[in-house]
A and B are shown apart, each in its own frame.
Chain A
Amino acid sequence: MNLYGVKAIYKFEMARMKRTVMQSVLSPVISTCLYFVVFGSAIGSRMGDIDNISYGAYIIPGLVMLSLLMQSISNASFGIYMPKFSGTIYEVLSAPVSYVEIVLGYVGAATTKAVILGLIILATAKLFVDYSILHPFWMFSFLVLTAMTFSLFGFIIGIWADGFEKLQIVPMMIVTPLVFLGGTFYSIEMLPEIWQTISLFNPVVYLISGFRWAFYGVSDVHVGISVGMTMVFLTMCMTAVWWIFKTGYRLRS
């Protein structure tokens, strides 16, 4: 295995995070904090508890998940798209690195960045809302698993995209609505029955539900199903990446 190659890609991507700390870290932290202030402190104090959890605390897992998904996708898609855009991809394609090593480098760095950001947001949330974590190990496991899965998804988007607009389409037009409708601000049990059924087709429901269970021990769907659904999506992404490298789709002509 070319560990030096993996390390080189990983370090290169992490260095980009340092160079763009305003955009990569501060910006998502500030925008998520605004949610905490508005929905947690201001409006939240006038809202009733959900499952005996204060509204401000209830929405924390969903908001962390929103940032985690967006940043995982954004970091990984940008990471692989930029070399394609600038032409520096030639170096990676001509290097003695396997497909697995390329993915480890890019997706590993995107996952690390998203996890760091998720932890920073969680720490910042403490300033605005009082919350506790019932299962810290599972909370962290969910955080890493979700970041990894959506970084892989972002990697696929980055290879598929042939313009900056396409890089933004999936996160903005698909992922954001799914997160907002996936139980970030409410329990899906609060919806009419028909919408509850429809919501179960939203994969983000399972992510947020499982993540919330790790915090408070309550969930919309069983935690095992949440883990299972995440693993299914991870497997789908891995299969897509395998196919991309096997065929050279948008990488090798």
Chain B
Amino acid sequence: MQPDISVKHLNKIYEDGFQALKDVNLEIYPGEIFALLGPNGAGKTTLISIICGIVNKSDGEVKAAGHDIVKQYRKAREAIGLVPQELNTDSFETVWDAVSFSRGLFGKAPKPAHIEKVLKDLSLWDKRNNRIMSLSGGMKRRVMIAKALSHEPRILFLDEPTAGVDVELRRDMWEMVRKLRENGTTIILTTHYIEEAEEMADRIGVIRQGEIILVEDKNRLMSKLGKKELRLQLQQKLDKLPGELTLEPIELSEDGYELIYTFDSQQQQAGVARLLRTLGDLDIEYRDLQTRESSLEEIFVGLVHE
């Protein structure tokens, strides 16, 4: 399958000598939701800005929808919609005019029915004649999305789309993103909310100091790098770990009433069964047990701090 976004050996060195991207290689396929994660200053926005044509690349090859972003910039850009991180909108325009402007700018003939649909989908229809300056932050964020969708792009970049929006709006946006994907739109998402990536993404890319350090299917990533934790609440206090248990990756809580056993997700339950048998042999009784799987956030933090 031909990728919608293809990045090969991409480098970006700014005028002050700072290298924001180092030999980045990445392919994103049609219809997937790809989450690009990384700490502040890792190069996420630079990468998106180069693909969208806002920042010049220093070296390498970038294609969008099969078109080179420099030699065939019109075709490449026509395919892309961008929702930037900042709420950059013209305050004095009405919602309708602002969204119609974006459609025209991207070379599409006026299509009021499409603009109406986008505004209705984003709950902006009632605000269509309002000036953008009169809208709340959440509504402005919706306008940014409406502008990006106005020209019916097949690839949508969402750069921190839910930064600063309330929980309800965030849920609405997740729903909208899923609907877009169902219609075949490829979505590239950067976010600080790891739960957002965990909730929506098909694949995860992690960028650190300008380098892509990992690209993986989300579920595979979580099972490969994720940890599981088993907590056993004991009937009686233990003063120290019995010698039979010291070989296991197991800890005793400070109060002596809890055993915490950590194991790889891939390791399945073999270690757990062995642990429970050992506890039985030692006559250590427990009144409750809980298991917990590590979140993507914990995996992410582990990766970027390696």
Report chain A residues within 8 Å CB of B75.
96
When A15-B97, A19-B92, A87-B88 are in contact, do A92 and B105 touch as well, CB less than 8 Å?
yes
Count chain B CB atoms within 10 A of each CB in A2, A12, A94 and give the residue with the most.
Answer: A94
Q: List CB contacts (< 8 Å) of A80-95 with chain B.
A: 86-88, 90-95
Chain B minimum-CB-distance residue to A253? B55
When A4-B108, A4-B109 are in contact, do A90 and B97 touch as well, CB less than 8 Å?
no
Query: When the two chains form their complex, are residues A86 and B88 in contact, meaning their CB atoms are under 8 A apart?
Result: yes
Query: When the two chains form their complex, are residues A88 and B89 in contact, meaning their CB atoms are under 8 A apart?
Result: yes
Query: When the two chains form their complex, are residues A7 and B104 in contact, meaning their CB atoms are under 8 A apart?
Result: yes
Q: Does residue A203 face the partner (Cβ distance < 8 Å to B)?
A: no
Query: When the two chains form their complex, are residues B102 and A91 in contact, meaning their CB atoms are under 8 A apart?
Result: yes
- B120-147 vs A: 1/0 string, CB under 8 Å? 0000000000000000000000000001
Query: When the two chains form their complex, are residues A8 and B104 in contact, meaning their CB atoms are under 8 A apart?
Result: yes
Q: List CB contacts (< 8 Å) of A1-37 with chain B.
A: 2, 4-5, 7-9, 11-12, 15-16, 19
Query: When the two chains form their complex, are residues B80 and A94 in contact, meaning their CB atoms are under 8 A apart?
Result: yes
- How many residue pairs link A and B with beta carbons under 8 A? The number is 82
A172 to B101, CA, bound (A): 33
A88 to B86, CA, bound (A): 10
Q: List CB contacts (< 8 Å) of B84-111 with chain A.
A: 84, 86, 88-93, 97, 100-109
B32 to chain A, nearest CB (A): 21
Range for the number of chain B residues in contact with chain A: 35 or more
A91 to B49, CA, bound (A): 11
Query: When the two chains form their complex, are residues B90 and A96 in contact, meaning their CB atoms are under 8 A apart?
Result: no
- Point out the residue from B53, B55, B101, B106 that lies within 8 Å of A12, measured CB to CB: B101
Report chain A residues within 8 Å CB of B177.
none
A93 to B48, CA, bound (A): 13
Query: When the two chains form their complex, are residues A4 and B107 in contact, meaning their CB atoms are under 8 A apart?
Result: yes
Q: Does residue A97 face the partner (Cβ distance < 8 Å to B)?
A: yes
**A8-B100, A87-B86, A95-B106 given. 4 additional CB < 8 A pairs?**
A8-B103, A87-B88, A91-B102, A253-B14
Residues of B within 8 A of A (CB): 14-15, 52-56, 73-78, 80, 82, 84, 86, 88-93, 97, 100-109, 147
Q: List 21 A-B contacts (CB under 8 A).
A: A4-B103, A4-B105, A4-B108, A4-B109, A5-B104, A8-B101, A8-B103, A8-B104, A12-B90, A12-B93, A16-B92, A86-B88, A87-B86, A90-B52, A90-B54, A91-B82, A91-B88, A94-B80, A96-B75, A96-B76, A97-B107
Ranked nearest first, the 8 interchain pairs of A and B with the lowest CB-CB distance are: A8-B104, A87-B88, A96-B74, A96-B77, A94-B52, A2-B107, A95-B105, A4-B104
